[in-house]
Structure 1
Amino acid sequence: CGCTQGQTQQFGDMIDVDVTVKGLFNAAQGASSKSVNLGGGVTMELSDQVNVDGTWSQMPAGYPRVSFQGSSTTLTFRFPKFNTKVTYDPAITGLGSTAA
């Protein structure tokens, strides 16, 4: 990756990715630790499962992490080192329009 400490090149086995989602309303923890209420009837269900180079595996304990600040929710995912690709797929519900 080009990361060095002094003259020593550093290699890690994980990468942390932060994603911040801003809603129209204040976000809150949902009914479970893997459920996030984004406000306005929109809920995101998180999983600790990740597909790494075609093989499903589990994120380390405590991930994904969720933090709230007003209407912003920051999700921290910890993905293992991969060769080709890593795929993560949360479920978001409540985006459909309602008839008046």
Structure 2
Amino acid sequence: MSADFPDLFEGLSSDALFVLEYGPDGGGSDTDAPRDFVESLLVNLADWRARLLDGTRSDAEDYRCCLDSVREAWLQYSFRWVDGPALPYPFDLPAGVAS
């Protein structure tokens, strides 16, 4: 396996996206940085998916986990604001809850 796709998604969270936007000290303001980063991850997911479908990779479960982490991070980042609603983190149900 050539690319180590799962490593690209390490530490991904809405908090990490906020750090990209505001900087580690909270003093910056680059509103495009989180979107640009997520777009780069989506490009990697597309490549990874193609490799899973052509049989050159077999780590479908890792792919699903990384896809879910992108969805969760973007969902939380997109809808979290000062004095906004209290949202669960993550939205996934805890293990053992009937599906």
Tell me the TM-score normalized by structure 1: 0.26
Task: Give the number of the structure whose residues are more often strand, by fraction.
Answer: 1
Task: Give the number of the structure whose residues are more often helix, by fraction.
Answer: 2
Higher Rg of the two aligned structures: 1
